[in-house]
Amino acid sequence: ELAVDYQDTGVGKSSIVCRFVQDHFDHNISPTIGASFLTKTVPCGNELHKFLIWDTAGQERFHSLAPMYYRGSAAAVIVYDITKLDSFQTLKKWVKELKEHGPEDIVVAIAGNKNDLGDIREVPMKEAKEFAESIAAIFIETSARNAVNVEELFQKISKQIPPLENPEVDSNESFKLTRQPPPSTRRCC
Ligand SMILES: Nc1nc2c(ncn2[C@@H]2O[C@H](COP(=O)(O)OP(=O)(O)OP(=O)(O)O)[C@@H](O)[C@H]2O)c(=O)[nH]1
To test ligand 1's pocket by mutation, which of 5, 6, 15, 20 has the most ligand atoms within 8 angstroms of CB? Answer: 15
- H or E element that contains 39: strand 35-44
Q: Which residue has the higher pLDDT, 178 or 107?
A: 107
Condensed to tens digits (0 to 9), the pLDDT of residues 127-160 reads: 999 999 999 999 999 999 999 999 999 999 999 9
> Does ipTM exceed 0.95?
yes
| pTM beyond 0.80 | yes
Q: Is residue 35 very low, low, confident or very high in pLDDT (cuts 50, 70, 90)?
A: confident
Pocket of ligand 1 (CB under 6 A): 9-15, 27, 29, 31-32, 57-59, 113-114, 116-117, 143-145
For residue 171, the CA-to-ligand 1 centroid distance in Å is: 37
Distance (Å, whole) CA 149 – CA 140 = 7
Give the separation between CA 154 and CA 118, rounded to whole angstroms.
22
Interatomic CA distance for residues 167 and 122, integer angstroms: 45
In the chain, the domains with their CATH numbers are 2-160 (3.40.50.300)
Tell me the C-alpha distance between 131 and 110, whole Å.
9
